[in-house]
Structure 1
């Protein structure tokens, strides 16, 4: 694109200034893959949301949008980690000294939880189930799961959220005695 030619949309500005925006994102995320994902998210947002909107200063507008996406990603990651901690805390892992205090009632309750969870997993869409099992059972990180399934990191996060909601629903029902 020549210097005289003006980009026709915000998405065109994003593409024209791509290296600059990538550097901005890498500096904030410290991960080139995450930076590329965020740039794709921004491009999709600009294509869908901005349309033919006229912005007097498109570059600062896009920088602000990217900064917001980075912050959203940080919040999402924090929430994901918190859910993982909550899951672990509620799961009350078996510490060596706790094994002696397990009652038959606790064993029956845990078995019931397992059966209900397996039923819920069976009712989940295949990809959601596969992502959840890869993350929780196989211990794969989200980036690896995204690569294995050919989806974005945000897609993996959404599948995990869906699965966690189902599991939390089961726990709530069991805790309420339903």
Structure 2
């Protein structure tokens, strides 16, 4: 943390007085520069104050002419940092808004009960199918096998597997009817 004027050595006081004078005489120009970059006078005020604190901390290493350049460069750099942070925060806020619109990861108890009932009705419908049709449907639609893999397993053509799966889907749809799930 930078030293305040009360706690400085006698040799540091004239330098800090010069830095304060430099800041006071150029504060308006610094604010205008920061406002132009940030588009917000409140943010510009914060940036200019932060820049002065950096100058205060590092002022002993600078000549007074370099201090003014340092101050303007620091304001510019802090503005760029602030804009980057605001852009990043904006992206996170947009992602948060998108996530808030997603459905809850766990269904409600009512939705779970309806899902279980729907699953039971589907199992009943599959139980009514011939074994070969049921197996083609289960392998293809529930276990993720390709029609060629199912055909190889059933020792049938891929075309026949296609028809078996189509028939099973039709039967399940008609059995479920106007089921709400």
For normalisation by structure 1, the TM-score amounts to 0.44
- TM-score normalised over the length of structure 2: 0.44
